[in-house]
Amino acid sequence: MVKIGLITDKYHLEKKSAQFLKYCKNHADVSFYIEEDYFLDFSNYSFDENIFFVKAKGDLIINLAKFIEQETDIPVINSSRSISLAFNRFLNSVFLRKEGVRVPDFTLNPVGKSPPYKEYIIKNIIDQKNYAFNPQIQKKEGFLTVTDKRAIDESSGRKPKYTHVYFQEFIKSKWEYKVYLFGDDIFYYKQIPVLVNPDKMKSRIEIEKDQELTEIAYKAAEAIGLTICSMDFLKSKKGDFYLTDINSSPNFNYLKNGPKIVGDYLIRRAKT
């Protein structure tokens, strides 16, 4: 029986991974490495797993993944580098655009300085911790601006973490498209944009394979280095898809048989 090491935190373990673990425990030996339970000194660890799966994106999580990559030959899904790129919105926007993936125009501006486009979304630079998107929507002279409350809290709150904020040009789209990628398996959905209907699952429907979305998704995943991820797209009036977000720790419970799909993928990789 193959051995899978799950690198995670208590939130993902308790809220997101129950069905995944239930499935995997019938097909693999699963060990846990929980962020809140270990320190940065990993010298006493010895690893005999066949593969590691990272289901979280905190700093300690990434440091443990990096340590395993440096000290062993055990595959880590996803790698520490790819997770770091995925949660840094500015860096992944730069990497994606360099590789020819269409992303909305973006800037990293000092607090209080507006971007050069009339409609935009302000997002937090580092999308690392677990939180609900909390948009503040305004219209000025007929143009829409959206601010994620956490972006303001992190840059202008009582204890600011950053002196800059990430601006992304707003793409008007009838639908928001969600793509899940698990190795060679890919799944497509569309939903009413969350700015119109915050209950995204209420309007979400599965759609047929789209060749253009497929090509963009694989190119984006390769650019960032992800083998398991989800991506959000908007489609402009001209019919162009724009990748607005990429997530290295997707909630696969939203998919029918999602925990099994991920479990089977990891088991296949562990056997190779």
Distance, in Å, from the CA atom of 30 to the CA atom of 53, rounded to the nearest integer, reads 10
Distance, in Å, from the CA atom of 248 to the CA atom of 49, rounded to the nearest integer, reads 21
- What is the set of domains in the chain, with CATH numbers? 3-78+258-271 (3.40.50), 86-102+172-247 (3.30.470.20), 106-169 (no CATH)
E-strand ranges in the chain read 3-8, 29-34, 51-55, 76-77, 106-110, 120-123, 135-140, 143-148, 164-169, 176-182, 185-191, 205-206, 228-235, 241-247
What's the chain's length in residues? Answer: 272
Q: Render pLDDT for 82-98 as a digit per residue (tens, 0 to 9).
A: 999 999 999 999 999 99
| pLDDT value, residue 130 | 67
135-140 sheet: strands from edge to edge: 106-110, 164-169, 120-123, 143-148, 135-140
Whether residue 128 has pLDDT greater than 80: no
Number of neighbours of residue 225 by Cβ within 10 angstroms: 18
Please state which of the ranges 86-90, 128-132, 141-145, 165-169 shows the lowest mean pLDDT: 128-132
Span 100-117, mean pLDDT? 93
- Cα angle 86, 259, 84 (rounded to 5 degrees) comes to 15
Span 112-117, mean pLDDT? 89
- Cα angle 131, 132, 136 (rounded to 5 degrees) comes to 125
Structure tokens of 148?
């994620």
Over pLDDT 70: what percentage of the chain? 96
Span 231-240, mean pLDDT? 96
| pLDDT value, residue 150 | 84
Please state, rounded to an integer, the average pLDDT across all residues of the chain. Answer: 91
Q: Render pLDDT for 162-197 as a digit per residue (tens, 0 to 9).
A: 888 999 999 999 999 999 999 999 999 999 998 888
| pLDDT value, residue 168 | 97
Number of neighbours of residue 183 by Cβ within 10 angstroms: 16
**For residue 151, what pLDDT band results from cuts at 50, 70 and 90?**
confident
Distance, in Å, from the CA atom of 15 to the CA atom of 125, rounded to the nearest integer, reads 25
| pLDDT value, residue 159 | 78
Q: Render pLDDT for 26-79 as a digit per residue (tens, 0 to 9).
A: 999 999 999 888 655 666 678 999 999 999 988 889 999 999 999 999 999 999
Over pLDDT 90: what percentage of the chain? 71
